[in-house]
Amino acid sequence: MKCIKIDKNEWAGGLEAAASTYRLFGPVKEDEFYEFKALEEGRAPDAAAMAVRNTRTSPRSVVYPQAEVLFEYTTDERDPDAHVMKEPEREEKPRAAIGIRPCDAYSFVLVRNNFESPEYQDVYWLRNYEETTFIGQACHDPCSTCFCTTAGCGPFHEEGLDVLLADAGDHYAAKVLTDKGETFMKAAGWGDEIDFPDEEWEGWKTAAGEKIVSEVPTDRLADIDTLALHDADFWDDVAFSCINCGTCTYLCPTCWCFDIQDENKGREGIRYRCWDSCMFPIFTLHGSGHNPRDAKTQRVRQRFMHKLKYFVDRYEAGIQCVGCGRCVQHCPVNIDIRKVCNLMNSFGETESCSVA
């Protein structure tokens, strides 16, 4: 197998060189945890940052910022562009996500189903996605809450990546997967091609897969009757502890829902979109005042039904979850998608289901 060898001594320098062409994003240390965000000029993720398995919030915002201005306008007649909806100036440099984990990169492949369909193309998301190069990093040491291998990907999964790096001690072995990846490698000045032993790579991959201790069964989801599952008797129990915050949906790499907002000051205004959450009661509040998901159980059910049933049925691309485990780790009341998926998948199999 052909790989590019990136000596770790050349890591920072390479990224510095790439930064003249790309805007770099990667794991950045906050006070107590790591975020996936823009790297300051000349600040390559160090060994500690690259060892981070899950950044607290997912890299979703690289492509899909939490708030993104769609257009701006003025109604000031003295301005020749009055009443014209103008797109704000865009940064011209393409983006590169450095050290993104395979599950997070795969999340964009799933989310693309929503933002690009035969009847509808979301230009904002697609443009950001297409101009981003994903330099992934394989997970040699997954977390106990990772269940990627049963959620459609895995610690060495390549789908959605342009380059996959594997940590080989004093260097990274970089498997270049696409032309975009090759372009990035050139920009970074990394071109030391080596013959990497297939069996070593496969050995790592197998070893990492064996360290995954969590799993979700998904084999029956597609065949279960939607309405029967919707009316299952376990939802009240699943939803009881939920406080309806947006932690799960905002940390999730595959949640895609947004709100559209207008803000103006005097004669100037903007329209932006921002993440929204199906956990919030106002998410479905109609203009009439009617709210079809007025009760907590309805909202919790919606989140799981969307990810584990509606998505499965509509796109035939597995579940809308990559198994990163962020919601499992950070739900303030310990609602665990692994348990819920288990309940859903085994629905109808036994006479009664219990969560505990």
- Nearer to other proteins by Cβ, of 277 and 320: the residue is 277
Query: What is the signed CA dihedral for 222, 228, 233, 235, rounded to 10 degrees?
Result: 50
Contact segment (CB under 8 A) with other proteins among 15-23, 154-162, 241-249, 300-308 equals: 241-249
Nearest to 53 by CA among 325, 317, 297, 302: 325
Residues with Cβ within 8 Å of residue 185, at least 6 apart in sequence? 4, 163, 174, 176, 191
Contact 29/51 with Cβ under 8 angstroms? no
- Nearer to other proteins by Cβ, of 85 and 295: the residue is 295
Q: Which of residues 95-114 bind other proteins (CB under 8 A)?
A: none
Q: Is 5 in the site for other proteins (CB under 8 A)?
A: no
**Alpha helix locations (H) across 69-101?**
none
* Candidate list 9, 121, 226, 261; residue touching other proteins; CB under 8 A: 261
Q: Nearest distance from residue 60's CB to other proteins, in Å?
A: 11
Q: Nearest distance from residue 326's CB to other proteins, in Å?
A: 9
Q: Which of residues 25-84 bind other proteins (CB under 8 A)?
A: 30-33, 35, 56-57, 66-67
Q: Is 284 in the site for other proteins (CB under 8 A)?
A: no
* Candidate list 84, 85, 274, 295; residue touching other proteins; CB under 8 A: 274
DSSP 20-54: TTSEEEEEEE-SSSEEEEEPPTT----HHHHT-SS
Q: Is 245 in the site for other proteins (CB under 8 A)?
A: yes
* Candidate list 176, 229, 319, 328; residue touching other proteins; CB under 8 A: 328
Proportion of the chain in helix, strand, coil states, percent, rounded to 5: 35, 20, 45
Contact segment (CB under 8 A) with other proteins among 77-85, 87-95, 176-184, 234-242 equals: 234-242
User: In Å, how far from its chain's centre is CA 148?
Assistant: 13
